[in-house]
Each structure stands twice: as C-alpha cells, then as structure tokens.
C-alpha cells in the first residue's frame, strides 16, 4: 500500500482544496462570517444555518429593488444639486428618475412567490435600503420643486429673460432691469452693474 502524504496545515483554510479523505464531496457554499458575539464556533458554518450564524442579509446588487433604492438616492441628490446650480433640465430629469426608482423600490415585490426578494425579504437589513428610497424621494421632490420654480420664474419674467439674452451691449442689458418688479425677487434677478 503506497504511503499517503499528510495534509499540509496551510491548506486547512483553502476553500478550493480537496475534501479530506473519507469525507463526501459537497457543493461549494460561501463562508458565513463569524460575529464576535457568536463565541467562537457556535453556528455560522457553511452548512449550519443555526440561529447564531450568518446575521442579517446583506445588500445584494443583483436585486433590482435594492438597486432602485440606491439609484433613487443618488439621482435625487444629483438632481437637487443641478437644480441649485441652475441647470433645471438635468435636475428635472434626475428628479423624475429618482421619484420613479424610489416609488418602485418601496412598492417592490418579489419576482415570484417561491423566490422571496425585494425589501420585505431582507427583514431587518431592509432599513438602510428603505431609508435610501425615502431619502431619494425627498431629494427628488426638492429637485422637481427647484426645476418647476426655475421654469415658472422664466415663464413669469419671460420679457426680462428675452431682453437680457438679446442684449448686445452691457448698457442694453442694464436697461432690461426696468422689466422686473420692484421687490426682493426683482432685486435678486437684476443685472448687476
């Protein structure tokens, strides 16, 4: 009988190493991280779905509902910034997308009844995703209000904006100030000397 090599202790942690002799092959499963309160080796192993192992589900970028919650937050935030910086068309587009993604993330349901998904399937781990979707809705609302306010302002004072855009000299541009009302808003929009 040939002499068998002893297993190398450095391969004990290798997930791709062959199983020890006498142990049947098992399908590969990702390792579950052990939390400090688990107390060493209680639960949390790859094949042991014990009460102490695993922890809450993590963010899954492949889940469309969770992705939409993140997209809602990002596009709402950028739509708000574009609205503040005076680019209302981009702010309007991003605000509308954030509104759509935020609502669809909050209303998201699993693709099939047998396969749970969406924010409800995450349980306690859904809190950050729900917060991202709600924050996206809030910033989307602000972005849409800024864009609507900007368009309403341009519509209300259309004569001033046309005059200012058509002016060829600084003197002609300053004469456009007579088309503005004599209130705080008129002082803000006024062409400065």
Average pLDDT over residues 84-95: 94
- Cα–Cα distance list, 4 to 8, 10, 130 (Å): 12, 17, 56
Backbone dihedral angles phi then psi of residue 50, each to the nearest 5 degrees: -65, 170
Size of the chain, expressed as the number of residues it contains:
193
Residue 86 C-alpha from the chain's centroid: 23
Tens of pLDDT, residues 6-25: 655 555 667 677 777 888 77
Confidence of residue 183 (pLDDT cuts 50, 70, 90): confident
Q: Report the 10 Å Cβ neighbour count for 72.
A: 30
Q: What integer pLDDT is reported at residue 15 of this predicted model? A: 67
**How does the average pLDDT of the chain come out, rounded?**
78
Q: Is the pLDDT of residue 180 over 90?
A: no
Residue 178 C-alpha from the chain's centroid: 46
Whole-angstrom distance, CA of residue 136 vs CA of residue 94: 10
Buried b / exposed e across 15-54, counting CB within 10 Å, b at 16+?
eeeeeeeeeeeeeeeeebebeeebeeeebbeeeeeeeebb
Q: Is the pLDDT of residue 179 over 80?
A: yes
Q: Is the pLDDT of residue 174 over 80?
A: yes
Q: What integer pLDDT is reported at residue 14 of this predicted model? A: 72
Average pLDDT over residues 55-77: 81
| 3-class DSSP state of 176 | helix
Contacts 24+ apart (CB under 8 A), 177-185: 185/153
Confidence of residue 135 (pLDDT cuts 50, 70, 90): very high
Q: What integer pLDDT is reported at residue 146 of this predicted model? A: 95
For tokens 């001033």, the residue is 160
Whole-angstrom distance, CA of residue 96 vs CA of residue 138: 12
The pTM of the full predicted model, rounded to 2 decimals, is 0.61
Range of lowest pLDDT (57-61, 84-88, 168-172): 57-61
Q: Report the 10 Å Cβ neighbour count for 189.
A: 17
Write down the H helix ranges in the chain.
64-84, 88-106, 118-122, 126-156, 158-166, 170-175, 184-189
Tens of pLDDT, residues 27-57: 777 766 555 554 444 444 444 444 444 445 5
- Cα–Cα distance list, 178 to 23, 157, 175 (Å): 90, 12, 6
């Amino acid at each position: 009988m040939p002499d068998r090599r002893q297993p190398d202790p450095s391969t004990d942690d290798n997930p791709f190493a062959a199983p020890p002799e006498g142990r049947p092959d098992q399908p590969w499963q990702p390792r579950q991280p052990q939390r400090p309160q688990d107390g060493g080796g209680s639960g949390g192993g790859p094949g042991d779905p014990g009460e102490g192992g695993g922890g809450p589900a993590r963010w899954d970028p492949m889940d469309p509902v969770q992705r939409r919650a993140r997209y809602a937050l990002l596009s709402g935030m950028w739509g708000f910034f574009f609205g503040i910086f005076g680019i209302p068309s981009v702010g309007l587009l991003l605000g509308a997308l954030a509104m759509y993604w935020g609502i669809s993330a909050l209303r998201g349901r699993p693709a099939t009844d047998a396969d749970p998904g969406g924010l409800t399937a995450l349980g306690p781990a859904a809190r950050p995703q729900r917060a991202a979707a709600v924050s996206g809705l809030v910033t989307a609302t602000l972005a849409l209000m800024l864009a609507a306010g900007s368009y309403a302002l341009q519509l209300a004072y259309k004569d001033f904006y046309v005059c200012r855009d058509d002016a060829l000299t600084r003197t002609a541009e300053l004469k456009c100030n007579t088309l503005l009302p004599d209130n705080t808003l008129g002082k803000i929009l006024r062409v400065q000397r």
